[in-house]
């Protein structure tokens, strides 16, 4: 599933490895895909930058329901 120009409503992470989430407008809460630790960190930084600066994001949700591609 693709989404375009959506607002980031909230973000969440825990101290556990690769556990970061985002609540994206009309998409809902989605976990960031877990291919690599750096990938999760980078996407989480992008989502927080979008939230803090009132920017929108676009991307792809994979078959497992996780964010796999993200554009800011």
CA distance 2 to 69: 9
pLDDT in tens, 6-20: 999 999 999 998 999
Mean per-residue pLDDT, 24-36:
95
Q: Categorize the per-residue pLDDT at 57 as very low, low, confident or very high, splitting at 50, 70 and 90.
A: very high
Domain count, the chain: 1
Residues in contact with 32: Cβ distance below 8 Å, sequence separation at least 6, in sequence order: 18, 20, 21, 22, 39, 40, 43, 44, 47, 66, 67
Residue 61's domain comprises: 2-71
Q: Categorize the per-residue pLDDT at 37 as very low, low, confident or very high, splitting at 50, 70 and 90.
A: confident
Q: Enter the pTM of the model.
A: 0.92
């Amino acid at each position: 599933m693709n989404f375009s120009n959506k607002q980031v409503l909230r973000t969440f992470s825990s101290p556990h490895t690769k556990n970061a989430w985002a609540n994206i407008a009309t998409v809902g809460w989605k976990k960031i895909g877990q291919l690599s630790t750096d990938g999760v960190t980078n996407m989480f930084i992008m989502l927080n930058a979008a939230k803090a600066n009132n920017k929108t994001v676009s991307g792809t949700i994979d078959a497992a329901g996780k964010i796999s591609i993200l554009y800011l």
